[in-house]
Structure 1
Amino acid sequence: MAITRKEERRLLSHDEATMLAPTHHPELAQLSPEDLRNLVERLRAQQRRARDLVREATRARRGKAEARGASTSAERLSEKKQVFAAALRRVNAQFARAEDARRHARAAEGLRRALERRRAARPHHPQPGRHAGTGMRDTSKDRAHPGPDPRAIGSISQATRDNQARRDG
């Protein structure tokens, strides 16, 4: 389920909330690619930190390790980790949108240049000139099936007659 901005502010400290503020639209769409990269690195670091805290709290609750730091519940830390994961998804989606726009612009520019080259090129087919040519060659007689060899006509029926006569006796 989506986490609202109000819930994010409730879960996060003031510094973390100000870091996450530009991950929402319309601020996200206005960030430069360099700012997006920096934001992704900070978000990943925060998510890793939250993940480690969740693991430690879970181990402490099971009695596998000693409790360290604040006694924040694993559920609350898990929600905090989910907030950072959602922010990372939004930023990565913005990266993908920006890359798609750049790819589209590159392809459109290439097509524009190809069209200009085509329009500037000399026509491929020369003009026909003042006189008509001889036209197409008649190939109808070449295509007609010539039929069987005239010497072989009747040989099958004769073989049938011979075989019948041999059987009859």
Structure 2
Amino acid sequence: MARSRKTERRYLSEEEISLLDKTHFPELRNVQSPDLLKLRKRLREIRETAGNSRKLLQPGVAQPKAIGAPQEADGTGSKMRRDILSAAVKRVNREIERRRTAGMSGHPEGENSLNQHA
């Protein structure tokens, strides 16, 4: 099920929100190919950190969290954050693939730099 941007913002930090905003249309189409590859890499890194954050939790130690993030003891906030980041990576991957296939078929919107960097 699709989530609203408002819901996404509840679970993410300011840095993550600024990255995530680039993964929504029409902004995604305006990102240059080399920057798109960097964006995918950074989102994957953050997603992996979000996936491991539950393992890193220690009783009695204050943990950094996003502003206004829900405080679920069962880790559903971490799962939601990971799911939101996974959806962003999927959007970026689809855009990279769209550009790659458009570049192979000779359409001007495809960018050949994706074929070289992937």
What TM-score do the two structures reach when normalised by structure 1? 0.54
Higher-Rg structure is 1
The equivalences for 1:11-26 within 5 A come to 11-26=11-26
Question: Which segments of structure 1 move beyond 2 Å, counting only runs of 4 or more?
Answer: 54-57, 66-73
CA–CA distance in structure 1, aligned partners of residues 99 and 76 of structure 2? 35
Query: Whose RCO is larger (CA < 8 A, sep 6+)?
Result: 2
1:15-35 CA-partner distances (Å, limit 9, x unpaired): 211111100000101111101
Give the corresponding residue for 2:38: 38
The structure richer in helix per residue is: 1
Question: Residue type of the partner of 1:22?
Answer: K
- How many corresponding residue pairs? 98
SS in 1 for 2:105: helix
SS in 1 for 2:26: coil
Give aligned-pair identity as a percent.
Answer: 31
Query: What RMSD over aligned residues (CA atoms) do the two structures have, in Å?
Result: 1.8
Give the corresponding residue for 2:112: none
What TM-score do the two structures reach when normalised by structure 2? 0.75
Question: In the TM superposition, what is the alpha-carbon distance from 1:4 to its structure 2 partner?
Answer: 1.3
Question: Residue type of the partner of 1:70?
Answer: Q
CA–CA distance in structure 2, aligned partners of residues 78 and 11 of structure 1? 10
Gapped regions of structure 1 (runs ≥ 5): 58-65, 107-169
